[in-house]
Amino acid sequence: MCGIIGYIGNKQALPIILEGLKRMEYRGYDSAGVALFNQEKLEVIKKQGKFINLQNELKSRSITSSSGLGHIRWATHGEPSDLNAHPHTDCQNKIAVVHNGIIENYQELKRWLASQGHQFKTKTDSEVIAHLIEERNKTVPLEEAVRGALNHVKGAYGLAVISEKEPDKIVAARLGSPVVLGIISQGEYLIASDVAAILPFTREVIFLEESEMAIITKQGYKINKLNGAVSCHQPQQIEWDLDEAEKGGYDHFMLKEIMEEPETIKASLRGRVVLEEGGVKLGGLIDVLEQLKKIERIYIVACGTAHYAGRIGSYLIENLTGIPTEVEYASEFRYREKPLDKKSVVLAISQSGETADTLAAIRLANQQDLLTLGIVNAVGSSIARETKAGVYNHIGPEIAVASTKAFVSQLVVVTLIAILLGRQRNMPKAKAQEIIKELLKLPDKIEDVLNQKEKIEEIAKVYESANDFIFIGRKLSYPVALEGALKMKEISYVHAEGYPAGELKHGPLALIDQTWPVVAVIPQDSVYDKTFSNLEEAKARQGQIIAIATANDEEIKRIADRIVYVPKTLEILYPILTVVPLQLLAYYLAKIKGRDIDQPRNLAKSVTVE
Ligand code: M6R
């Protein structure tokens, strides 16, 4: 997730663009940049790091321009650096592009453009857009050139383009990433990824729909479909205040990030699955594919929520590949006294890529010359750099301390890795196709769970005064139970324990009485009957049962006091659905209790101490 902005009108563009970028800082902090016309020449200024670095850089510059673009970056392709920062330009530095999204076929396009003589300056996917437009713009005007260029692009984009040849015009387009047009007055407009950037200047906006382009000049604007057909939009008034706007209208980043989960799944799958072949393409693993064919053991190292994703990942990898897989808390991994087997891989899972214990585990494995891999969200982070290969989540920054969308994405990515390893061994194509088909359906299925958020809020109200919760599940649902308990502790400060359902009778059952809600993760999977029996045991001690069950499970009604249904899916994919009600339950309980949800006490988003 990056942020784009463009301004055209009768005022100085730079202060307006900078104010808008500041409002979108939460969308990325790897770099920021602007493109403006300085005495009719296109000038691009960009800086690695937080927005403040760009602001400092611009202090000594005087640029008078009444139109321009800005960008705030969350890196996906190419490490965070001045060079890889946006805006990107064509060979002649006459066209500037800001882009939010991923161009899936950029390697192919880059090869073709290079064969036509184009010279690339960066390692980003986005730069190809500037060159594609340049190529077209040789024969047709900017609007047509952008339209023609986008015809060749596969992937997702919210983008804006300016050109020295037509300085009084901004062309913007969207497919899969948001673009909003702000109408300040007749002849003065803003476009941005997010209303947060627009609200300081106007409340009158138009949200571009998928496959639409906006052509904005000082004379007015028009919105077309990418195929040229005219679109009709009525401007609407935004009622949110600025703080709400950054959170997409939600009260907290945590809820916003949970609600982004359908998009999270799409982003983590984008360009990575080939259904017809039952194949998975993970660019970050290409260099180690031969080595991966020979590995005999996997150690997953991670902390907190990422560790629970790793536990689920170990089931998946063993189940789909037969490779023995162990999961360790990264903070404990270093105390192993035996040397690790050379045919092992150490796989780190980390949203931030900076967790000190996980990094230390990777360093230990590197010292022993093992193959190290990462599943990381933050591009260019320490873990991403120090592992030998890896896969990015590509889900934009996660701001709330409580990790939610990252967990869902980690499960998706680990499933992709399991399919890749499985296909290298003896997983039949049909089996891989079955999983891929179902992965592609998950965004809609998560949507179905999210639509039940009011019901989950009601459940939270019922148990508002409970002092203790126990979360139980078996097999793949056990780590989900652990994650549900962690979420509850961390943001509502209520004691919660996660337990394997089968272990209840070996001790914790003694705790259960009518004051203890028992949250059971009980989808219709291979251990359903056994988990059901464990629930009977809790029910017999007057435990209050909240069940996360599969749609149409009538039997569960016999025993559960409250039920949240999730759609049916494959057994190995249930955690991606069953965790969502638990995230929402923790969220609403914390909200009722008036907790500081996005920044819970004593915690930090990135734990860089051991
Ligand atoms: O950035 P990482 O994924 O490495 O972070 C690991 C844990 O610190 C993190 O998941 C933590 O447990 C979250 N606050 C849980 O919501």
Return the pLDDT at 78: 85
Name the residue of 403, 410, 609 to mutate for ligand 1: max ligand atoms within 8 A of Cβ: 403
Q: Is the CB of 306 under 6 A from ligand 1?
A: yes
Question: What phi and psi, each to the nearest 5 degrees, are found at residue 317?
Answer: -65, -45
Residue 176 has pLDDT above 90, yes or no: no
227-236 tens-digit pLDDT:
989 898 999 8
Return the pLDDT at 228: 87
Q: Is the CB of 401 under 6 A from ligand 1?
A: yes
Residue 240 has pLDDT above 80, yes or no: no
Distances (CA, A) of 65 to 54, 170, 200, 303, 583: 17, 13, 20, 48, 47
Measured in Å, residue 1 CA sits from the centre of ligand 1 at 19
Number of other residues whose CB lies within 10 A of the CB of residue 322: 13
Which of 154, 281, 388, 605 is labelled catalytic? 605
Q: Is the CB of 607 under 6 A from ligand 1?
A: yes
Name the residue of 308, 350, 351 to mutate for ligand 1: max ligand atoms within 8 A of Cβ: 351
CATH top-level class of 246-442:
alpha beta
In this predicted structure, which of 128-132, 203-207, 566-570 has the lowest mean pLDDT? 203-207
Residue 91: active-site member: no
Residue 445: active-site member: no
CATH number for the domain whose boundaries are 3-238:
3.60.20.10
Measured in Å, residue 385 CA sits from the centre of ligand 1 at 19
Query: Residues with Cβ < 8 Å from 456, sequence gap 6 or more?
Result: 564, 581, 584, 585, 588
3-state helix, strand, coil in the chain (%, to 5): 40, 25, 35
307-358 tens-digit pLDDT:
999 999 999 999 999 999 999 999 999 887 777 888 999 999 999 998 989 9
Q: Where in the chain is the domain with CATH 3.60.20.10?
A: 3-238
Return the pLDDT at 290: 97
Return the pLDDT at 342: 85
Identify which of 256-260, 350-354, 539-543 has the greatest average pLDDT. 256-260
Average pLDDT over residues 288-306: 97
Q: Is the CB of 525 under 6 A from ligand 1?
A: no
CA-wise closest residue to 586 among 533, 522, 519, 525 = 519
Return the pLDDT at 325: 97
DSSP 372-421: EEEEESSTT-HHHHHSSEEEE-------SSS--HHHHHHHHHHHHHHHHH
Measured in Å, residue 605 CA sits from the centre of ligand 1 at 7
Return the pLDDT at 205: 93
Q: How many residues does the chain have?
A: 610
Q: Where in the chain is the domain with CATH 3.40.50.10490?
A: 246-442, 453-592
DSSP 123-169: S-STHHHHHHHHHHHTTS-HHHHHHHHHHT--EEEEEEEEETTEEEE
What are the tokens at 295? 């590995």
Q: Is the CB of 583 under 6 A from ligand 1?
A: no
Average pLDDT over residues 415-427: 97
Q: Is the CB of 20 under 6 A from ligand 1?
A: no
Name the residue of 301, 352, 375, 487 to mutate for ligand 1: max ligand atoms within 8 A of Cβ: 352
Quote the pTM value.
0.84
What are the tokens at 199? 């609200």
- Kindly indicate whether the domain formed by 453-592 is annotated with CATH number 3.40.50.10490: yes
Q: Is the CB of 314 under 6 A from ligand 1?
A: no
Return the pLDDT at 26: 81
14-36 tens-digit pLDDT:
999 999 999 888 888 889 999 99
What are the tokens at 17? 């663009």
